[in-house]
Amino acid sequence: MSLWPAIVKTALLGTERAELPMVTAVSPFTDLLRQIDSTDPEAALLTMAGLIDLHEQAGSSPAQTAPLPEQPPADTEKPEPPAHVTRHLS
């Protein structure tokens, strides 16, 4: 199921010249697409495009991954407390 070409076609022609794409497949995702209010075709088209884009991006691996940075060496020195803390504690 790829509604993307139909959405692009409708976006290029405009919602006055081309109808909103019809959702024919049956799945939880298409049930969500069918719930979009089509009384405002422009808003419905943008909502459909946004939902389809998010659906296609979900779960996909990032295009480029970088290795994790190296761990810094363990800090063995204890920091010196500020002078006002030393005066207060002594």
Tell me the pLDDT tens digit for each residue of 48-82. Answer: 999 999 988 887 777 778 888 898 888 777 778 78
Instruction: Tell me if 21 is assigned to some domain.
Output: yes
Instruction: Tell me if 25 is assigned to some domain.
Output: yes
Instruction: Tell me if 47 is assigned to some domain.
Output: yes
Distance CA 86, CA 90 (A): 6
pLDDT greater than 60 at residue 1: no
How many residues in the chain?
A: 90
Q: How confident is the model at residue 90 (pLDDT cuts 50, 70, 90)?
A: low
Instruction: Tell me if 27 is assigned to some domain.
Output: yes
Tally of structural domains, the chain: 1
Scan for tokens 């979009």, then name that residue: 36
User: What 3-state class would DSSP assign to 17?
Assistant: coil
Distance CA 8, CA 15 (A): 11
Distance CA 4, CA 19 (A): 14
Instruction: Tell me if 23 is assigned to some domain.
Output: yes
Instruction: Tell me if 51 is assigned to some domain.
Output: yes
Question: Per the confidence metrics, is the pTM higher than 0.75?
Answer: no
In which domain, by residue range, is 41 found? 4-57
Instruction: Tell me if 65 is assigned to some domain.
Output: no
